[in-house]
Structure formats: C-alpha cells, structure tokens
Amino acid sequence: MDILDLIVIGGGPAGYLAAQRAAESGMKVLLFEKKKLGGVCLNEGCVPTKTLLNSAKIFDHAKNGQAYGVMAHDVTMDTKTVLQRKNKVIQMLVSGVGMTMKKNKIKIVYERAEVIEKTKEGFLVEAGAERYTSKYILAAPGSETLIPPIPGVAEALESGLAITSRELLELEDLPGHLAVIGAGVIGLEMAAYCCTAGVRVTVVEMLDKVAGNMDARLSKILQTELKKKGVSFLMGHKVTEVNSHGLVCEKDGETKFAEADKILLSIGRKPVIEGCGLEHIGVAAEHGRVVTDQHLCTSVEGIYAAGDINGKMMLAHTAYRESEVAVHHMLGIEDEINYQTIPSVIYTFPEFAGIGETEESAREKGLAVKTAELPMAYSGRYVAENADGNGLCRLIMDQETGCLVGAHLLGPYVSEMIWGIAALIDQKVSVEELKKSVFPHPSVSEIIRETIFKL
C-alpha cells in the first residue's frame, strides 16, 4: 500500500483548497468527503444564500425604481425560479471544484473517514472497507447548526414548524410569517431575503444589539434599515418555549408571544469534531473545538485542523487561509495566520463589513485609538446610485503606531471594498502613507479616502 503525503478529511473550503495547494506543490493527496464537494459553503450556506439575496435585491430595485425614473408594474418574485437558479449556480460551482481536483490528480473518496491510529509509517485512516496511510492529516469536517435547548424545539423540528437555514433555502412556498431566533449573520440575511419576498418577519435576539460583535453604531443603523423594510425585532428577549403557534419570549419578567408559520433556528453553528477519529490519537479539544496554533497544528504532530472544526473564526474565507497556512507548514514554508486581519461581512442590503478592532474592543484592550466616520453620502457615486439609505464608513487608528487597526462599513458592495483595508492593516501601512493613495472617481470606495483624512 502506497503511503500518501496528505489525507484531507472533509471537502469543504478548507479541505478542497488544502488538497489543491498540496497537490500543486507535488504532494500525493487523498480527499475524503462523506456528502458533497464544497461543504456547507457551496451547498447550503454562502453561495446559495447570496444567490437568493441577489434575486431579492433585484426584486426590491424593480419595485422601487420610480425614484430613478424606472417604472415597473405588477412586479412579482417567483421563488420556484429563484431556487432553480440557485441550484444551477451550486451545480456549476461544485462541478468546478471537482474539475480542479481532477486537474491536480487528487483522488476523491466519498466515504466517512476515521483516523484509527498512528503507526511508524504514518497515520492510519479507515473509510468503508479500505485503509490508507498518510504522513500528514488535515481534518476539515466543518460544522452543523446549533440547536438551542429550548422546550418544544425538538417537537417543532420533527413537525417541520422549526427549520434551519438548510431547509429554508429549499422552500418554494415561503411562510406568511417567519420568526427568526438569533440576529447574527444567518438570521439577518434570511430575514432580509424573506422580508423582501413578502414574508412578515420577526427576529428575536437575546442581546441588545444585532450582528454579534460587529461595530455597535453600524449594527444599530443596520437594524434601523431592516426595520424600514418591514423586519420586526424583539431585542433583549429570551425564547423560553416553542409551541405549535410560535415563540414564547421573555424580557425583564414580561412575556411576549411571537406568532409564526415557520421558525428559523439561527443562533449559530458548532464544530463537527466527532466521527473523524481525532480522539483515538489524543488530539486536544476544548469547549467542543479542536485546539490549533497559528500554523493550524493540533496537539499531535502531523495532524492539522482547518475551518470550522477549530472554531476560531467560522467563515469560508478564514478556512481558505487556514488551509494554505497548514500546507505551508507541512512543506516547511514560513507562514502563519493573523485572525485580526480577516474581514467579516453580512450580505444584507445594505451590506455590513468589518475588520479588526471596534471602538469597544479597542477600549477593552486599553488601546489609545482615534475614530473617524463619514456618511456614505460623501461619495458622489453613492448619492448618484442610492436615492435612499443611511450608509456609513468608520475607521479606527492606533494613535501610538499611526496605523489603522479597524474598519467598519455599511453600504452597497462594501464586501468588495473591505479586503483592501484588510491588506493595509495587515501590512501596517501608516495613515499618512494611505493619504497618498489615489482612488478612482467617482467610486463608492472614495469614502475610505475621505474618512482617512479625518483621522
């Protein structure tokens, strides 16, 4: 039996890119995937969600085109056609990943793989009736929806009243009223889609702000914008019970009831760490997450863990970078991951993008920072293309170094701008140097330059 250089467990973003990068570097690679190539991202998460949101955005523009001199009447959104296009996009992209694996001579085995033991030849992995040996293992089995321990949830899931984002992305007939538990990325994006499609949406969140740890000021503005579109919010409310009619919620001893035809569970995701055999060889885990360092090494030499399994930053683009760093470490190439320079995006409309420190996190760390902000309306192109809206750009500078340590933007396509700020923060370019940068005019991105001059 040939000894492989690398066995990858999981064919999601971390897994398939690690396999690709390793094969391109001359390593002999075997990839295991128990369901579909592309993982949650391509099949149930990032890509299908954005496809649906794009349809909703086009529908919203068509309905409200009069401000731009475009008159449309009796505009409707056919969810069946939307889903057909979504499925076509998924098929095309998953096929593309498969072609990339084939091009790089990466064998794919569609079986659940489990590490059995470490031998003098390497790590022994079992899948189906076969066994394989490899010098290195990269575990990237991904994550699954976190099901809250709320009375009535199990029964609601069984009856179909409660669903996860996976099921919502397959609904041809949307409910009349959707209750969303959780105002994080998934909850807000699905609320935006459903509300635009004509669904009454109520979002219930335990915290007093939406969007988790993202910038508090912009989170509040995003919530206001979603309210304008018709989304209702019950902030600071705890769901105490799920029954056949909806949610029982409580705040400060007072009870409210949120009626719903469907309930979306979106309080987050949890790493899948069971089933791939890491416990057999003593890989350390804490709080349901595999422990990794800046090179994605686990507590067992030769075993790496990338993507959601380590719970560091459960985003597809984080998984991509982690997989590259892990492969580089296997090859002896100096590299490490910097989680501070990885952006987060919520693809609502308007979009919300952030990176690095917020004012709150900087204060907690004792950093002396200066914050500058400008409305998106300072950009000529933004005004030309947005008859309404309340976008904002906030930049945070470390006064000791004179470099940016955080950036937070709310507006159209800010997801396409945030990477540039990420690179600037990563390279520690000073604000004074940034002032020399030339932005195209007119462009929405000019708001970054204008805000820099406020620091």
| Catalytic residue positions, numbered | 441
Q: At what angle do helices 79-103 and 46-63 cross, to 10 degrees?
A: 140
Express the helix, strand and coil content of the chain in percent, nearest 5 each.
Answer: 35, 25, 35
* DSSP three-state, residue 346: strand
| Burial call 130-144: b when 16+ CB within 10 Å, e when fewer | eebbbbbbbbbbbbe
Give burial (CB, 10 Å; 0-12/13-18/19+) of 286: exposed
Give the other-Cβ count within 10 Å of 362's Cβ.
Answer: 19
Q: Using the Cα atoms of residue 298, residue 302, residue 308 and residue 314 in order, give the sign of their dihedral.
A: positive
3-state secondary structure of 154: helix
